[in-house]
């Protein structure tokens, strides 16, 4: 593990920067600092692509919509969706969680963790159970049991499910994550990004890392040409995959263990600090 004060050797040619948003690129007040805005713009000017890779749904990407350059693509919902931010968050690719699998996960978690409640994030919005903490940003959500929310009359007739959310009022965040992975990791990908006891469940093999790898392959970009940033367990696979990766100064212990090195906290512009080093090392400005 290398600290922010002892910079890692960077790839000779960084072609893509992949950054999480909450707790990473964004400050705690959900703003993007002037320093970070300038760093992102300078990276794009130098021909380095920037991918926002987040657990957020496309409709919650307004926090960075003014800072999108180049291709305008973002990876949302922990890898379940690739969206075009230049087109208002239009879905370009979906890697869904099968409704039958989601129902199986619900059954397993109800048995293993009594008191759990669920929400269903689809390609058109979120819906949740009566005891699930309400989403104030989504006032039009349907409230019903997970079984009803996941029901579809004919196979393939309902909109795709991007992820299942599970909340527990008593378990610790990491305790619930460990339990859920024990009972459901054979059929799904289970992770978390919230400081609360909230889990995010995607299709088996769907993660920030696997979708980022697909997007990079389409561009002829290899893992060793990618620098990634993150702070929570849903970033671990991406940080392991990238050639060089940084945990934020405020990161979860599992993220610190997974990353190549560590930068300063999100409120101290940790992503911008590293981007500035990358540009200096590559003799920016340059154009692709």
What are the pLDDT digits (tens) for 262-279? 999 999 999 999 999 999
In this prediction, residue 109 carries a pLDDT of 98
In this prediction, residue 287 carries a pLDDT of 41
Instruction: Give pairs for 145-149: CB < 8 Å, separation 24+.
Output: 146/102, 146/103, 146/106, 146/118, 146/120, 147/103, 147/106, 149/118, 149/120
146-185, pLDDT tens digit by residue?
999 999 877 777 899 999 999 999 999 999 999 999 999 9
Give the pLDDT band (50/70/90) at residue 70.
low
In this prediction, residue 140 carries a pLDDT of 77
In this prediction, residue 3 carries a pLDDT of 54
Contact 189, 207 (CB under 8 A): yes
Question: CA 88 to CA 67: how far, in whole Å?
Answer: 13
In this prediction, residue 101 carries a pLDDT of 97
Give the pLDDT band (50/70/90) at residue 226.
very high
In this prediction, residue 286 carries a pLDDT of 44
- 91-114 mean pLDDT: 96
In this prediction, residue 153 carries a pLDDT of 77
In this prediction, residue 69 carries a pLDDT of 65
In this prediction, residue 7 carries a pLDDT of 65
103-127: b (≥16 Cβ within 10 Å) or e: bebbebbbeebeebbbbbbbbeebb
Domains, the chain, ranges and CATH? 16-94+207-281 (3.40.50.1000), 99-203 (3.30.1240.10)
8-36, pLDDT tens digit by residue?
777 778 999 999 999 999 999 999 999 99
Give the pLDDT band (50/70/90) at residue 134.
confident
- Where do runs of H (alpha helix) occur along the chain? 34-45, 99-112, 146-150, 173-184, 208-218, 236-241, 253-258, 270-281
Is the model more confident about 2 or about 282? Answer: 282
In this prediction, residue 210 carries a pLDDT of 98
In this prediction, residue 6 carries a pLDDT of 57
Q: Kindly report the average pLDDT of the chain as a whole number.
A: 91
Q: Among 9-18, 34-43, 245-254, name the one with the lowest average pLDDT.
A: 9-18
Q: Among 81-85, 137-141, 181-185, 234-238, name the one with the lowest average pLDDT.
A: 137-141
Question: What value, to the nearest 5°, has the Cα angle with vertex 11 and ends 9 and 81?
Answer: 120
Question: CA 81 to CA 125: how far, in whole Å?
Answer: 13
């Amino acid at each position: 593990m290398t600290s922010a004060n002892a910079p890692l050797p960077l790839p000779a040619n960084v072609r893509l920067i992949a950054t999480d948003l909450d707790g990473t690129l964004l400050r705690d007040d959900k703003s993007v600092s002037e320093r970070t805005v300038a760093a992102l713009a300078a990276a794009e000017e130098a021909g380095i692509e920037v991918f926002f890779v987040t657990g957020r749904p496309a409709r919650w990407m307004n926090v960075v919509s003014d800072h999108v350059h180049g291709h305008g693509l973002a990876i949302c919902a922990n890898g379940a969706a690739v969206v075009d931010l230049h087109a208002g968050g239009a879905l370009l690719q979906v890697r869904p969680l099968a409704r039958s699998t989601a129902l199986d996960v619900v059954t397993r978690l109800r048995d293993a963790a009594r008191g759990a409640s669920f929400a269903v994030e689809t390609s058109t919005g979120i819906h949740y159970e009566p005891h699930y903490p309400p989403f104030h940003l989504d006032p039009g959500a349907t409230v019903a049991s997970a079984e009803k929310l996941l029901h579809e009359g004919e196979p393939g007739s309902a909109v795709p499910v991007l992820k299942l959310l599970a909340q527990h009022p008593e378990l610790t965040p990491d305790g619930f994550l460990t339990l859920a992975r024990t009972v459901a990791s054979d059929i799904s990908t289970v992770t978390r990004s919230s400081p609360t006891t909230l889990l995010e469940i995607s299709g088996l093999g769907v993660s920030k890392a696997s979708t980022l790898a697909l997007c990079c392959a389409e561009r002829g970009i290899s893992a060793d040409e990618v620098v990634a940033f993150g702070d929570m367990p849903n970033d671990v696979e991406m940080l392991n995959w990238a050639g060089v990766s940084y945990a934020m100064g405020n990161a979860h212990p599992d993220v610190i263990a997974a990353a190549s090195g560590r930068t300063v906290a999100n409120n101290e512009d940790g992503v911008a600090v590293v981007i500035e080093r990358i540009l200096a090392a590559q003799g920016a400005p340059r154009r692709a």
